[in-house]
Structure 1
Amino acid sequence: MTLTDIEPFTVQRPAAGQDPSAEVPPAGHFIGGSFVPGSGADTIDVVDPATENVIAQVPAGTAADVDAAVEAALAAQKSWGATTPKERSEVLARIANIIEANRESLELLESANTGKPRAVVEDDVSSTIDTFRFMAGACRTLTSLAGGDYATGHTSVILREAVGVVGVITPWNYPLLMAAWKVAPILAAGNSVVLKPSEQTPLSTLKLAELVAGQIPDGIFNVVTGHGRTVGQRLAEHPAIALVALTGSVVSGQAVAETAARTVKRVHLELGGKAPVVVFPDADLAAAAAGVRNAGFWNAGQDCGAACRVLVHESVAEEFTRLLVQEVSTLAVGAPGAGDGVEIGPMISRPHFERVRAALAEAKAAGLHAAIGGNVLQGPGYFIEPTVFSNVPAGADIASHEIFGPVVTVETFGSTEEAITRANETPYGLSASVWTRDSALSLNVPKALDFGTVWVNSHLVLACEVPWGGFKGSGYGRDLSLYALDDFSRTKHVMINHGA
């Protein structure tokens, strides 16, 4: 296949879109087990990014709304924190069952709110269910240092306790799933939650609240909608919140950490990424190209672990780029209701669409070559062509900064040492992948890469049993696995003097 053989990208659109209005949850904040009106009059439009239509309005929360939610969470946590792991496990399993029983309505709402294709929302909901089920079991398996006499005449016991009320701020790219990644281990550890969803994508989180109302103890799960500068700020500064957990941008993480420091509260941050994909000359190039197609463009590239920066050995760069362009040319762009074949949806919002468009324009102005794509798509909705920039020079801005769209860059390297150095140059440290058949490289290179997750011959494969989180500018703390339960609990040492 040559570039002249590639058909131009077009946006597939449904003949008639599904109406999500019947699934829209009640307007209001979810506090103490029920929906309540906001204390202010301002509202926020929730927009379908595939059509640009307003599909709902939610309250623009205030500090007073956060205070009310924290009060409810504090009251509920006292009894919730005293429950046994078995009792908490049963509640988490109940949440998983409720989600599974209502997955179609959650998928419809998530698609309408985010523009995600069917395959992506189905995976999101399935992973959400699995997260709650895993944590339902994990909370019954926690272990600590064995009790014993570590000082003469004194017996030590290590207790694992809840931290209290946890403030959570979730992003727009995986609204329901990122809520689950936080809420499940937080509840499993015996804490209560006050959650602020992204003002752009609050609907699936509010729907979850509607579904679990009356099915779980009132007050352990609270949702306050609104802007980060108001609701997020109050969560970070509230003296009764013991820990604040955020998935979002580096700028948001910095603001939360700075504010939280004033009350010396713990912070759990999962921030941005610019994942390098290091392709060695012995790699299966076809598999690597297919891997980048899937992991670079999943959720339209709006993923902090996306395989967006390829570093390929100079001896195979031309062949790899040809294979990658061929793979990317088969991606189908469209609105969620256009059919199961759609793989690439829109950018989440007009401002984000403009940011990605500006990045493409800047790359072209710098003389970079788009081997495929590189343009916006006309019509309603915030659609960008799947794009691959080839022969990108070291240090290029588009290969250094997180674009968060369907854009992959391809650079070359000449030696293993150069590949490692270049891969580590990014200020982020969330994830990376290595593609090679060489067993020594597959063991040694991941050790040298400064990223929290390194895949070998795959990319963006996740499991609830293993941790997810980054280094450097990508934040600290771990989601998923038993490590998340560690992060959302605290240890207490009790030493009993029996030698007197």
Structure 2
Amino acid sequence: MPNTTLAEHATVHRAPAGALNVREDLPPTRHFIAGAFDTPDRSRLHADIVDPGTEQIIAAVPEGTAGDVDRAVAAAVAAKRDWAKLVPKERATVLHRIADRIEQNAEILARLESANTGKPFDVSHDDVAGTVDTFRFMAGALRATTSMGAGDYAQNHLSVILREPLGVVGVVTPWNYPLLMAAWKIAPILAAGNTLVIKPSEQTPLTTLKFAELIADLVPAGVVNVVTGRGSIVGARLSEHPDVDMIALTGSVGSGQAVARGAAETLKRVHLELGGKAPVVIFDDADLDDAAASVRTAGYWNSGQECGAACRVLVHESVADAFTRKLVDQVSTLVVGEPGAGEHIEIGPVVSKAHFERVVAHLETAAQQGITAAIGGAALDGPGYFVAPTVLVGVPEGAECTREEIFGPVVTVETFADEDEAIRRANDVPFGLSASIWTENARRSHDVAARIDAGTVWVNSHLVLATEVPWGGFKGSGYGRDLSIYALDDYSRTKHVMHNHG
């Protein structure tokens, strides 16, 4: 495989022994149901939780069963009436207290997240800050929800529109952002007056369990419940459970399809935030330095394990060579290593051995198809699941690496000849989560954004998020919206009450 990675760039920076020892910070590694952690049970099946930077086992958590889900759902059902009866100010106060508690324990949560996922500390601290902000925003937003004005829309009949909680929401979260994606779901679900049962990824459950430990005294028993285990068992039971009113998932397309099939039996609501293959469309008038610097961050943040990553560059043929040189120069400066090696680490390992093998297989397939790695292109020496930050060039239209989620530190570069071709190829993937456009032409920025089939389109930036604005996709990227007041709408229902006053 062609591989021009510089020796110093390929070095994995290692942490001193014990630099990221989180054993004293571990939460109880058991299900959290009805306000308490289950009692230890060694007869249960357990799954090992592995530090992907060192391949050392951190902890073991129970493999949940359908019976565990039933217990958790029963607790959520028992708690839903009293939680829903709280006025917005009371629920908002609880959400602010949760935000305070997270902020007070930010360092512990960041260290746990880095140990469990391999994230550099910059990414983990950003996740914790985003979690705090999500709870604070939802605490304010729930006190200012708006509905259609009450009035007589039929003669002598007063119509009043009510917003009500759904009841119990089942939540399934992914391994790439365990804490932050939990917050994106939990905060609006609680704000809207629902109770919940959450299943974190079986690979990365530690910060979700820690969150439950930290807030146990802040929410009534049964309002928040955590069941660990596999999607095929725990997620499936949540999806089909008759007492679960909605299922909300962030994850892969396959997981979303499985959840939707399970939910169909009871016709419950489904909220899906699935994969992405974000095109980065760079026109000939773009600021190439800015574009390359942005892709350096947005393409490789969290080791590219990001649904909105700037992973698929489409650059005008007249500036393709210049842009590629600039991008390779940028990528060559990325620092790879274990998070415990220091604050300067920018790229950690991918999350697991299975995912590492999948990413490497994508690179090997690309090489077999004659696609060149301008930098990177291979695994790095272990221990740990490290892949060199990679730029693939000479990529033909329709290549597998441009259509499937690699979900690693890999960016592909394709070229286009004109605007129509750029838009056609940007849309020619199964996903529609996000995209970006790079141009100094104001007309083009509006027109092209309107023609790209994605839930978020950035102009001259990429992967900039704000809690006030919605996040979610089209096509194979799912439906429903996280963040913003639109999330509150997703987790509530509308009731029309009409009074005859004639």
Is this a same-fold pair by TM over 0.5?
yes
Asked whether the 8 Å contact 2:103–2:132 carries over to 1, the reply is yes
Cα shift at 1:251? 0.2
> Residue deviations 1:8-52, cap 9 Å, x none?
411000122321000110121001111014887101100000000
Give the equivalent residue in structure 1 for 2:34: 32
Give the Å deviation of 1:216. 1.6
Matched, 1:297 2:296: no
Q: Does 1:418 align with 2:418?
A: no
**Structure 1 position 379, deviation (Å):** 1.7
Q: Deviations along 1:462-489, whole A, 9 cap, x unmatched?
A: 0000000000000000000000000000
Classify 1:5/1:284 alpha carbon distance in 2 versus 1 (closer, same or farther; 3 Å): same
Q: TM-score, with normalisation over the residues of structure 2?
A: 0.98
Distance in 1 between residues matched to 2:222 and 2:195, nearest whole Å: 7
Counterpart of 2:12? 11
Shift in alpha-carbon separation, 1:222–1:4, aligned structure 2, 3 A: closer
The answer to whether the 8 A contact 2:14-2:340 is kept is: yes
SS of the aligned residue for 2:300 comes to helix
Deviations, residues 32-83 of structure 1 (Å, cap 9, x unaligned): 1110148871011000000001100111000010000001101111100011
2:147 maps to 144
Is contact 1:6-1:329 (8 Å) kept? no
Work out whether 1:20 is the aligned partner of 2:22.
Answer: yes
Give matches, 1:180-329, under 5 Å.
180-329=183-332
Cα separation, 2, equivalents of 1:289 and 1:477:
31
What's the CA shift for 1:5?
A: 7.1
Distance 1:371 1:77, change over 3 A: same
Of 86, 111, 134, 1:131 maps to 134
Pairing 1:461-476 to 2, within 5 Å after superposition: 461-476=464-479
Matching residue of 2:340 = 337
Q: How many residues align?
A: 497
The match for 1:437 is 440
Q: Which amino acid aligns with 1:12?
A: H
Contact 1:70 1:240 in 2 (8 A): yes
- Return the alpha-carbon distance in structure 2 between the equivalents of residues 80 and 356 of structure 1: 44
Q: Does the C-alpha gap of structure 1 residues 4 and 79 become closer, same or farther in structure 2, counting only changes over 3 Å? A: closer
Task: State the Cα distance separating 1:360 from its structure 2 match.
Answer: 0.3
| TM-score w.r.t. length of structure 1 | 0.98
Shift of 1:7: 4.0
Q: Secondary structure at the match of 1:491?
A: strand
- Percent identity reads 65
* In 2, Cα distance between equivalents of 1:256 and 1:447: 31
Is the contact made by 2:312 and 2:413 (CA closer than 8 Å) also made in structure 1?
yes
Task: Tell me if the contact between 2:92 and 2:140 (Cα under 8 Å) persists in the aligned partners.
Answer: yes
| Letter paired with 2:123 | V
Q: Which amino acid aligns with 2:383?
A: P
Root-mean-square deviation over aligned CA pairs = 1.1
Distance across 1 between alignment mates of 2:273 and 2:39: 31
CA distance in 2, matches of 1:461, 1:8: 27
Q: How does 1:48-87 map to 2 (within 5 A)?
A: 48-87=51-90
CA distance in 1 between counterparts of 2:7 and 2:65 reads 51
